[in-house]
Structure 1
């Protein structure tokens, strides 16, 4: 009895610690700096090791094991890219040129990565959301626990939006009311620096709130008076509307379009799997949410839509995509090394197209940059992850009747980050990646766990 009590206390402590790790990655500008990233990795790593004492079983257990293999593959790849060995046949040509330039006096040791230290640091940014996802699946292993994690994510997204809106009204040229903004003055960024990353987070938060709005009475909830239930629904709708307003105030074209596509998928999945067999109540709720979305677009999205009409597709970004593809073609086996885009890209940039004054430290396409820095190994890792999670959400839509809104929202979140990843690098920011990871972890449990 004492052992069981200790186990329960430890599990609850680890759950709170994991939530704290999520907040740690968001508050210091998305944990893009070295110290915040290292600190978040240590806290999340300790939580992951504590959760590993009791790994999930059944279908969730299979997914957990496959996730561990993906983590192992990423770690091995990063180590292979960063290690320097004599006469390395896969070494980047820059090491050979350096040795020749020194007249053969330089060491014959060379690495695949042009910047081994940057590769090791960048590997932490890739591994952090993976271990957070696995820890979330292991710790929040019941419907009640997973719903608590889902509500936590929705609450964080709502507070993120409120802070950003207040900040934009009081001090639009300040970051967190204190520091002068260097970028995106007049756009909502809240705790983050980049408006596109903030827009992606708010789009995901909108989907978490939409799922709570459409869900029925959930496990662990007591029957409430009709007026109380109606008040709760009004509060959720208000939170959804506030978060949606925050999304449009970011003025992010990519986040707006990706969120619209994700909401369309969310509605289609619910209509096809749930609403048509149960009546019109949820259909009316879905229609109301979509109507609210349209109203917010008309009221607050005028400037964002104007940017789409006037600016259209950025030609420089298309040039960067072509240059990144050429870099992948020259380093397709093992890539140039994680975190080396800034070092490698200048050799491939087209000055007639991209220009010589603009600085590009990201490819603004997560998938292309993954190909360039990880090589062809990135393809099976990314494809398997997307297909496997899609299968999980499909299982939830088919077998978890009361949890279908969360399964549909999980699929929509996956769609949102995948689509936005084609035109931006939001998923490469640790804070956003970890936030998405806990949402997907909660959705996974709700899809695979039977109450």
Structure 2
């Protein structure tokens, strides 16, 4: 058990010759997270290659500096191996899928049509491995440089304002710039905020995680000690202005989520924010129940008002859900049949689009392109099999437990852990009916929030 005073001013890197690396790398990694979503939400192979290459170079430099300047320091990632190992094991299984062993994807194809590898699309699997390598590198580097509460809070705040900028662009592009994409005219999702993404649901997940982060940072600031003003408690101070600024930015991000018109994304965002709020309130000391009730009521009124003014399209779409739901259920039925056909080996990482063409039922709407499962859990199982496909879920579950423990044992420095849990709730719920976690920009943000939420702080003066 330790308090913020034990770790908030921890000397950690500042007492070593490699201190500058942590100070520079933290903000740089956050900027990379925010930039990863700029090009179509990061859903492009070129983005995966550039991000992974950039992170690999940063990792080599960081490793060299630590070996030369700080050889005696324990690697913080060692304490997070319970999260890393399941992800590495899933990647290892995907590597096995590259073996040149032929198989019959449906059980009915003639041998001359069988794939030459255990994955139905070798190129897609290789690119997916590159993408996943980038996620692991991001987690490793962030965990390595965030070893104090002050640094974690600084990086979380920088990340939040970057997400606010994404939200502002989304609203400007929708309402004032003629409903355009970042790169030109919009062909799909006209009338919905998409920001730098192509798909409104993916954008909703991206910003939804930002709402949880905003709630955590707002209440952290509201609960922190403030300087008593000579003019009395009603006077405005820098402390109060910071609280108002954070709360206002969070409301703007939430309004943009509603402007996406993503039904499940909006619901998942509210659920994640509510969980974050509950966790922050559970740790607050000396907050009267009356004030908590007033905050809850004010929050409910605020959400309702935003929904009324910004969510008309969302409300309209929520009424007309029957046809789309029937298509989704038919898709899920077929995907579960695919999983049952290859429950252990799967069809290859990122191989669903090619595999599904062999199973595509004419009952599905032929005017739509079914290149995603619209359910991340089913996507993992159909591509990696039931065992290996469950390993990423296990990694996230372990991260949730570690973030929860951070909240329970700390008297301060727990806001990012609450935000990480709220983000996990948001993406876990939205993943039931969408593929947002199959978009790189979302995963980089998710990985960053998890890293900030599970980070372990060292005691002052410790090496």
TM class by shorter-chain length? 0.7 to 0.9
Q: Name the SS for the 1:215 alignment partner.
A: helix
Residues 1:274 and 2:283 aligned together: yes
Deviation at 1:448, TM superposition (A): 5.7
Q: Distance in 1 between matches of 2:296 and 2:458?
A: 25
Instruction: Give the whole-Å Cα distance in 1 for the aligned partners of 2:31 and 2:238.
Output: 30
In structure 2, what is the Cα distance between the partners aligned to 1:286 and 1:133?
Answer: 34
Q: 8 Å contact 2:201–2:265 — kept in the other structure?
A: yes
Question: Residues of 2 paired with 1:274 and 1:261: CA distance?
Answer: 19
What pairs with 1:34-183 in structure 2 (closer than 5 Å)? 34-51=45-62, 53=66, 61-84=77-100, 88=101, 91-93=102-104, 100-101=111-112, 110-176=116-182, 179-183=184-188
Q: Identify the residue that residue 16 of structure 1 maps to in structure 2.
A: 27
Which among 27, 36, 43 is matched to residue 32 of structure 1?
43
> Relative to structure 1, is the Cα distance of residues 224 and 193 closer, same or farther in structure 2, using a 3 angstrom cutoff?
farther
Matches within 5 A, 1:222-233: 223=227, 227-233=237-243
**TM-score where L is the length of structure 2:** 0.85
| Alignment check: 8 A CA contact 1:396 1:407 kept | yes
CA 1:67 to 1:388, structure 2 compared with 1: closer, same or farther past 3 Å? Answer: closer
Decide whether aligned partners of structure 1 residues 267 and 10 sit closer, same or farther in structure 2, where only a CA change above 3 A counts. closer
Q: Whole-Å Cα distance in 1 between the matches of residues 453 and 430 of structure 2?
A: 20
Q: Is the partner of 1:82 in helix, strand or coil?
A: coil
Shift of 1:258: 0.6
Aligned counterparts of 1:328 and 1:254: Cα–Cα separation in 2: 25
- By how many angstroms is 1:366 displaced? 0.5
Measured in 2, the distance between the counterparts of 1:167 and 1:367 equals: 32
SS at match of 1:435: helix
8 Å Cα contact 1:251-1:303 kept in structure 2: yes
Match of 1:324 in 2: 335
1:398 is the counterpart of 2:408: yes
More helix by share: 1
C-alpha change, 1:348 and 1:315, in structure 2 (3 Å) is: same
Q: Cα–Cα, structure 1 residues 342 and 32, in superposed 2: closer, same or farther, change >3 Å?
A: same
For 2:263, the equivalent position in structure 1 comes to: 253
Q: Are 2:353 and 1:348 equivalent residues in the alignment?
A: no
Contact map agreement 2:215 2:273 (CA 8 A) in 1: no
Name stretches of at least 5 consecutive residues in structure 2 with no aligned partner: 1-13, 230-235
Partner Cα separation in structure 2 for residue 224 and residue 160 of structure 1: 35
Kindly state the Cα deviation for residue 247 of structure 1 after the two structures are TM-superposed.
Answer: 0.9
1:422 aligns with 2:432: yes
Flag structure 1 segments of 5+ consecutive residues without an equivalent. none
Cα deviation, residue 382, structure 1: 3.0
Query: Does 280-289 or 75-84 show the bigger shift?
Result: 280-289
Once the two structures are TM-superposed, the CA of residue 433 in structure 1 deviates from its matched residue by 0.7
CA change 1:443–1:175 in 2 (3 A) is same
Is contact 2:27–2:158 with CA below 8 Å preserved after alignment? Answer: no
In structure 2, do the counterparts of structure 1 residues 251 and 350 end up closer, same or farther at CA, with 3 Å as the change threshold? Answer: same
The Cα of 1:365 is off from its aligned counterpart by 0.4
Q: TM-score, normalised by structure 1?
A: 0.87
**Alpha-carbon distance between aligned partners in 2 of 1:295 and 1:275, rounded to the nearest angstrom:** 27
Q: Over residues 270-298 of structure 1, what are the superposed CA-to-partner deviations in whole Å (9 max), with x where a residue is unaligned?
A: 44x33486434555445433432222122
Distance in 1 (CA, whole Å) between partners of 2:40 and 2:345 is 31
Deviation at 1:334, TM superposition (A): 1.6
Q: Give the CA deviation at 1:401.
A: 2.3
Change (3 A) 1:234 1:355: closer
Higher deviation after alignment, 361-370 or 301-310:
301-310
